[in-house]
Amino acid sequence: MRVLILLLLLHAFEKGIPLHAQDRLSCQQGYIHFKSDAPLEVIQASSDKLLGVIDVQKNTFAYSLPVRSFKGFNTPLQQEHFYENYMHVSQYANATFQGKIIEEVDFSKEGTQMVRAKGILDIHGVKQERIIPCELQVFQDHVLVKASFFVPLKDHNISIPKIVYQKIAEEIFVEIQAKFPKNEI
């Protein structure tokens, strides 16, 4: 349900429904990368389909990512396993993270701020509350959000067959980088 609202919200942006530009910042092509550093294999993939929106007034945010957009696996088979066997994309197409920024942010002041984003991380259909530290770089014409965090597979009910546990890490390292252009009126 929340995902739906989020998507509608994002959709509204795309269609250019007039919203107060000062209220919301949006990111259309955020970058996300994950890395599984297991003893026997390192798997990584990335996507630039990360959608994001920040409500500057309310200090809230929402991100959404089509899981199928992850590319760059070691083999095509691995990619298929990732989509179908672990992430079950046909069932859980998107991964989302939405909530609020704990610290007060001044989006007009240029410079770098460290903030913490508290929200519900929904991966593989399992919601977990997370507090994720982020680096917010405010420029004249855009805001850059950088963050990295670990996702324990167990937290999201992503089960790895016993025999492959040496090839997939228990905690996946994720980093994102999202650019939110400031809309000039």
What residue ranges bind another protein (CB under 8 A)?
39-40, 102-103, 116, 118, 131
Burial class from Cβ neighbours inside 10 Å (0-12, 13-18, 19+) for residue 147 reads buried
Largest CA distance in the chain: 57
> Shortest approach of another protein to residue 66 CB, angstroms?
29
Nearer to another protein, 4 or 40 (CB): 40
Which whole-number Å values give the CA distances from 39 to 27, 87, 145, 166, 174, in the listed order? 35, 21, 31, 6, 18
For 40, residues 6+ apart whose C-beta sits below 8 A from its C-beta are 166, 167
Least distance to another protein, CB of residue 48, Å: 30
User: Is-contact 182 142, C-beta < 8 A?
Assistant: yes
Smallest separation (angstroms) from another protein to the CB of 35 = 18
Residues with Cβ within 8 Å of 84's Cβ and at least 6 positions away in sequence, in order, are 90
**Residue 13: CB minimum distance to another protein, A:** 27
Q: In terms of CB distance, is 72 or 152 closer to another protein?
A: 152
